[in-house]
Homo-oligomer: A and B are copies of this chain.
Amino acid sequence: MPRALVFDAYGTLFDVHSVQTRCEALWPGKGAQLSRLWRAKQLEYTWQRSLMRRYAPFSQVTVDALLFSGEFLALKIEKKEKQALLDEYRRLALYPDVSETFKRLSGCKLAILTNGSPDMIEPLVAQSGLRFDAVLSVDALQVFKPAPEVYQLAVDTLQTPREEIGFVSSNCWDALGAKSFGFAVYWINRAQAPVDRMGFQPDRIVKSLDEILP
């Protein structure tokens, strides 16, 4: 086992499916389309803002992406619907394999490294019941993943060399960003998608979190 394990949050530990369910409940027949576009725009905005050097907190980017997506799909998103969807983000459930895996992890430091701003990630971690040595947000650096300085934040905080840190993400581009930086990387390929083509690969590709246990 590595000396420290660093986890992505959304989609990796926390299941964002309930957001999709809420979208579908609000706009029957359009929920899947809305949540797909919302997620795609949310990520696009993080990358574009990082490159433009126009950082805004993930909570802001998430609202911007939602409102764009609503306008694109001609769905009327009023204050009430917006709040209901953002509230979901603050009480996401853990994936079923997370709690059991964490019970069996011992002897290594545990951290979260997330795009999520403190106003989003802190209430979420607090209600999860999980314990971490550090909950790190890119907000401290004003740039989003996969910029290398984001991954460096975990090295600096955990006081552990990068090659002794295992990084776990279900987002292939995040796993590859961490690999590019120099972590030992597990990609949780929950959706059974192809590996992104960047000229290098995650160290291990697993289907669920418990497969990272030794």
Contact = CB atoms under 8 A, between A and B. Distances in A.
Interface of A: 40-41, 43-45, 47-54, 56, 64-65, 67-68, 71-72, 143-148, 173, 176-177, 180-181, 193-194, 196-199
Copies of this chain: 2
15 contacts: A45-B197, A45-B198, A47-B48, A48-B177, A48-B196, A49-B198, A51-B51, A52-B148, A52-B176, A52-B198, A54-B180, A64-B197, A64-B198, A68-B197, A72-B194
A177 B71 contact: no
Chain A residues touching B, majority SS = helix
Contact of A48 (B52, B53, B71, B198): B198
A152 to B, nearest CB: 12
Contact of A199 (B50, B56, B199): B56
A198 B147 CA distance: 20
